[in-house]
Every structure is written in C-alpha cells, then in structure tokens.
Structure 1
Amino acid sequence: MYEVGDLIVYGRTGICEVTEITTLKMDGVPKDKLYYILRPVREKHGKVFTPVDNEKIVMRKVISKEEAEELIREIPQIEGLWIGSEKQREEKYKECMKSCKCAEWVRIIKTLYQRKMSRLKQGKKITATDERYLRMAEGNLYSELSIALGIPESGMEAYITNQINETEEPVLC
C-alpha cells in the first residue's frame, strides 16, 4: 500500500502523487472500501480516484535514482520492437505502454526513432500513430527519469545521450 505523498506511476495517466487515502461517501460504493486520491503531476487541478486494491490498472512506485541510472546504462542493449505487420504495430505499442515499464518505453522510442529515420530517407513523414506513441513513450520515460534523477524533464533527452556517449567503450581498429 502506498502512503500520502508517494509518487507513483498510474497506468496511462502517468506519474501521480498520492494526496489522500480514504473511503468515498457515494451511493453504491461500500463504506469500508479504501481509495487513493491521486493528483497527476502534469495536471495541477486533476484528481483520480482509484480503489487501493485496483488490479486492472498498473500502479507502481516511481523508480529510484539508482534504478534510473542503471536503466540509462542499459539503453544501448535494450532491443527495439520487431513487429511483423502494420496491423500488429499499434497493438504492440499499446501493450508496451500499458505495461508501465521504463524498458518497454525505451523499446518503443528506439523502434520509432529508427522507423522515423527510415521513412525520412524514403522521403516520407512519420505516421500520426507513430508520432503519438513516440510522444507518449518519451513523455512517460522522461517524466519518470526527471523525478528519479532530479533533472528537468526538458533536459532529459540530452542527459541520456550524454550518459550513453560517456559510457560507450571506444572501438579499436
């Protein structure tokens, strides 16, 4: 169970702060059922009510600084997605986003970046679906890493790139 003040990842909503743990005084709601009242960090006045025992939506604590640093070190080894057909593409993206796992968001980002570069070489633009999922995956990943590392979200892409470039071994010819 989370505590008031905890930052958690709550499904597609993203990072939320637990502002209250309470029962709800509403018709049809059991009087003894506990609910989290969550405030999405990107919406100052937003509120989400969810049962403490909700098993339909992924809820987990934001990763620690150490876990964030480890994830960034592992990014070069994380493989993109291999998707056999266009019909399966969006389903695979949805599945990865729903998992609420940082490594899955990295897989989407890597896949869509490579796909975007390939399409640009062919004189084509990125598809609207690809653009939407790229923004969602980057937003979720960068906001979580930003909180874990204490770095502004706007600088996260540059930070990750610098960290990867610093840790890569020079190739000897």
Structure 2
Amino acid sequence: MEVNMFKIGEFILYKGTGVCKIEDMTEREFGQEVKILCIKTQLIKKKSTIYIPTDSKKLVGKMRNILSEDEIHTILREMSVDDGQWIDDAHERKNVFREAINSGEPRLLIRTVRTLYSRKQELLLKGKKLNLSDKQFMQEAEQMVCDEFAMVLHKKPSEVRSYIENK
C-alpha cells in the first residue's frame, strides 16, 4: 500500500488501533533523513500521535481507507447468517480473536463481535458472564467496528452495536 494514496485530513483505519486522522506528513531526522507520516488518532479513549516511517512497508501496510457506506451495508448483508462458531479451546480462541483485531479486517472484526455477543447471551441465560479475556476482545473489536461504522454511517458509536446485531 502506497503512502501517496493517503492525504492530510483524511480518515483511515490503522490496524490494531482504529480510526485515525492523518494530521501531517513531515520529514524528521533520525540519524539519516526519513519521511514520517504523522497520524492523530480520533478514538475517544486513545488520543495519541502515531509516527509512521513512510518507507516501512510493514507499518504502512497496517493502514487502510475507511469503508464506504455501501461497503458497510454489503458486508453486513453478506454476513447476516455468519455469526461465527464458538471455539471451546481458550488458547485457540484467543489466537483467532487476536488475529481478527490485529488484521483490522471488517469481516473478521464483525464475526468476532457477533460470536462474542452470541456467547454472552448464552451465558446470561445460564446466569454466567464472559471471562475477562473474551470480554476484552469483544470490547476491543467492538470499539474498532463501532468507531469506523459510526463515522461513516453518521451514528453514535452506541447506536452501531444494535445496528450490527440487527443486520
């Protein structure tokens, strides 16, 4: 993915972090002159500045354009019957959820959220709760999806959760 495809003022998704706004593209010197892409995160809880060396394919590869409204509706329509399967093995489940979050891939994030929503409902009927690890994965995946979808769909992040559940 080329950095030139991103512009100052544009919103992007930085995998593992969420929706960010490109605030500036500037040059900084670190022993030798290196171009740096400066991104200001727009997440409510995580206001920080991330500096991305533009010559780092690995780090630049973690950036993608945010989805369009049509892309969001298409993804939700395609996934309407895909709630994901619960993985009993806790270690394997953690790896699958961690990979979904690190990928920033909308379908994987939505599958993670829906799988955990479904599991949470099952457990509530039995008077139980999600374990801490699963709860944290649900919150992180939900945060990433809700931030992006809320921005694109002009909804509050709190409204996006029920929107995803009902699609």
TM-score range, shorter chain: 0.7 to 0.9
Q: What is the match of residue 99 of structure 1?
A: 103
Q: What is the match of residue 167 of structure 1?
A: none
Q: Contact (CA 8 Å) 1:8, 1:15: kept in 2 or not?
A: yes
Q: What is the match of residue 71 of structure 2?
A: 67
Rounded to whole Å, the distance in 2 between the matches of 1:81 and 1:61 is 29
Question: What 5-or-longer segments of structure 2 have no aligned partner?
Answer: none
Q: Contact (CA 8 Å) 2:86, 2:119: kept in 1 or not?
A: no
TM-score normalised to the size of structure 1?
Answer: 0.82
Rounded to whole Å, the distance in 2 between the matches of 1:145 and 1:158 is 12
Rounded to whole Å, the distance in 1 between the matches of 2:118 and 2:83 is 12
Q: Secondary structure at the match of 2:12?
A: strand
TM-score normalised to the size of structure 2?
Answer: 0.85
Matches within 5 A, 1:33-44: 33-42=34-43
Rounded to whole Å, the distance in 1 between the matches of 2:35 and 2:81 is 41
CA RMSD of aligned residues (A): 2.0
Question: What 5-or-longer segments of structure 1 have no aligned partner?
Answer: 165-173
Q: What is the match of residue 21 of structure 2?
A: 17
Rounded to whole Å, the distance in 1 between the matches of 2:163 and 2:99 is 27
Rounded to whole Å, the distance in 2 between the matches of 1:45 and 1:101 is 22
Matches within 5 A, 1:71-90: 71-83=75-87, 85-90=89-94
Matches within 5 A, 1:154-169: 154-161=158-165, 164=167
- Which amino acid in 2 is paired with 1:36? L
Larger radius of gyration: 1
The percentage of counterpart residues that share the same residue type is 27
Q: Contact (CA 8 Å) 1:9, 1:61: kept in 2 or not?
A: yes
Rounded to whole Å, the distance in 2 between the matches of 1:158 and 1:81 is 20
Compute the displacement of 1:112 (Å).
0.9
The list of structure 1 runs, each at least 4 consecutive aligned residues, that deviate by more than 6 angstroms after superposition, is: none
Rounded to whole Å, the distance in 2 between the matches of 1:87 and 1:96 is 14
Compute the displacement of 1:59 (Å).
0.9
Rounded to whole Å, the distance in 1 between the matches of 2:148 and 2:48 is 18
Rounded to whole Å, the distance in 2 between the matches of 1:45 and 1:140 is 14
Q: Secondary structure at the match of 2:29?
A: coil
- Which amino acid in 1 is paired with 2:53? P
Q: What is the match of residue 54 of structure 1?
A: 56
Compute the displacement of 1:143 (Å).
0.8
